[in-house]
Amino acid sequence: MSPVTDFLPPSLLTASGRKRRRSQEAAEEDEPANTLPSAADDTDKHSVGFYLNRLAGLGVPDLTTPASHLSLCISLSDIFSDGTFYGCQAARRVWMAQQGIDRVPAHFPGIVDALLANYITDYTDAFLFERCPSLYQATGRLLFLSGDSAGAVAAQAAWMRAHLGELADRTAIVRLTGLFRAPDPETDTPSSVAGGGVHHSKFMLLHLADGRLRLVIHTANDIEYDWVHKCQGVFVHDLCLAPAACSAPPGTMGHGLVRYLSAYVQAARASMQSARPRLVSAGGAAALRDGMSVFVRLVQRADFRALAHMHVVASVPGWHAMREAQPAPFGYPALATLVGTAALRQRSPATRLIIQCSSLSSADMSASVSSAGAAAAGPWFTRQFLAALMPAAATASVHLMWPTVEQVRSSLEGYHSGIGLLASAKVFTDRPSLSLPAYLTAWNAEWSHRQRIMPHIKTIAACRGDNGECDYCYLGSANATPAAWGALQRQGQSLRCMNWELGVLWVSAAGDYSTNAPLLWHARDAPRGPPDPTDRRSYRLLPLPYDTAEAALARYRRGRDQPWVSDRLELLPDAAEDAVNYAGGGVSGRPK
């Protein structure tokens, strides 16, 4: 029996299941061996827990750094199987000492509780349980949060009831929406809904049986297409669990994560008290409240000291007060507060701010900030988002990385890969949006072997010079849109966020010589020794799929390069000799 079927109860090995597993075993023989470093190695000393998704099925080779031979690619199955993800040897030694062991166990300890949250989901054996069979053996609670349609969530819930046996009684899937629900053809009429907003966060919490809490924040929808055919980013880190809860100091990653998870509990309670729930689907509020409370308590027990220079950046649907002494704890003001210490204000003209996402939506529409007041009137992208991240005194150049029509057409999947790259043509042509084209930079991913793989990853990186040094890096679910990051309303007194979003931020210790905090470097330009022989600080590697060197950041060529849009018919045949119209309804509601 294969390692996959070892996890499955005999009653679940149906004929169709046996057939799928035989196919999977055959496919696994053709795939390269798992290149994750073994627990005894010291090869992960430069890791920050940032990986790219493995694309072996597409013939894309894994990445390793020449400096440390560190694997920079993992698959979804890796997250639910053997291996430890500490990012540094010190954290691993702490955990091993707490467990009274001298080496990491060779076998996956199993899952006690698991929380998986996403936008578009397939939580059945057609996808998730097929690749992550250890979920079948969970001894505690399984909680799934989805932003998918009511029909899709209902179908997944029915599958769980029919196939999980006794585990189904400890399993819940809850459908969440944004502040304003998007119309659902099954339950809503156009007049009953105002605006849009979705549960867009993509993260996991796995409580392992050996006393670890595995935190995963990533960019892929939980569907096969996203994990296998798109360029994605994954942060994963194992946290030690203390016997009792402790209070994380404000400003730390633990404090931010508890605050974000607690917002789900608050939304559930508000929904239970409201005659017309707006954030949680009917019948799911109690399951959300009870289940999320379990994971809040687990995070309160987690040791985040190894992640001292990392932060959670989140958005929660609602109106958040903007006070001068205390900015909003969510959205782009929270990001601006955290990166304000990264010394971007004092950098030279060689500093580059690279914003890369998979949806622009109404990113630069003036209507999105019409009530923000004179101080922020005008396009959201420039007057609010960029102004917060790059004060007027800064001299950094801004690059909005977005694939061209030709890059999508010539990708491995042709126009089909444009699904998930959402931007209306008027974002680039309307008069309020004329600032966007000036920032456009083509997708470049030659170094990561992903030039012909279209991105679904979302990042923001501040880099300087051509030596690969980074001031900070964001990886998460948020696209460059006001729905994701928030927009000022009520004359600038409130920030309105519409989506649930979650990301992680790495901040370099550049310029701070009072600590031994690590420096951040692009893995493409990993130094072979200490960046500064007189500096005792170590460095950590960021496997950004694109090159951050000035020469590699190619601006759109006037009259030759056109940005990919999701509402226009492309007439030239693509790599598959197809001329496909992905306009309007062709991409509406698809992964983003």
Catalytic positions are: 200, 456
Rounded Cα distance, 469 and 531, in Å: 9
Which residues carry a binding-site annotation?
202, 458
CA pair distance 211, 191, nearest whole angstrom: 50
Q: Could you tell me the two tokens for 59? A: 């013939």
CA-to-CA distance for 238 and 432, rounded, in angstroms?
A: 45
SS3 89: helix
Closest to 312 measured CA to CA, from 477, 197, 163:
477
Question: Any residues with CB less than 8 A from the CB of 470 and at least 6 apart, and which?
Answer: 461, 462, 463, 464, 506, 508, 520, 521, 522, 542, 548
Residue that the structure tokens 């001031």 belong to? 471
Compute CA distances 49 → 215, 217, 255, 452, whole Å.
Answer: 10, 10, 19, 25
| Amino acid found at 583 | A
The annotation places the binding site for substrate at 202, 458
DSSP type of residue 187: T
- Rounded to a whole number of angstroms, the distance between the first and last alpha carbons of the chain is 38
Query: Which element (helix H / strand E) includes 489?
Result: strand 487-489
For 207, the enclosing helix (H) or strand (E) is: strand 203-208
Eight-class DSSP state of 119: S
Q: How far apart are CA 202 and CA 592, in angstroms?
A: 11
Element (DSSP H or E) covering residue 541:
strand 539-542
The CA distances from residue 381 to 240, 328, 421, 522, in Å, are 39, 18, 18, 26
Residues 235 and 216: their CA atoms lie apart, in Å, by 6
User: Shortest CA distance to 223 belongs to which of 339, 369, 116, 323?
Assistant: 116
Q: How many CB atoms lie within 10 A of CB 563?
A: 23
The CA–CA distances, whole Å, from 340 to 197, 381, 390, 479, 565 equal 28, 18, 9, 20, 33
Element of type H or E holding 396: none
Q: Phi first, then psi: give them for residue 569, nearest 5 degrees.
A: -80, 125
Are 68 and 526 in contact by the 8 Å Cβ rule? The answer is yes
CA distances 228 to 129, 135, 139, Å, are: 16, 20, 29
Is the alpha carbon torsion for 132, 133, 139, 142 positive or negative? positive
The backbone torsions φ and ψ at residue 188, rounded to the nearest 5 degrees and listed phi first, read: -115, 155
Widest pairwise Cα distance in the chain: 67
Which backbone phi and psi does 94 adopt, to 5 degrees? -60, -45
Let me know how long the chain is. Answer: 592
Q: Residue 94, Cβ neighbours under 10 Å: how many?
A: 16
Distance CA 285, CA 279 (A): 9
Question: Is residue 570 within 8 Å of residue 404, measured between CB atoms?
Answer: no
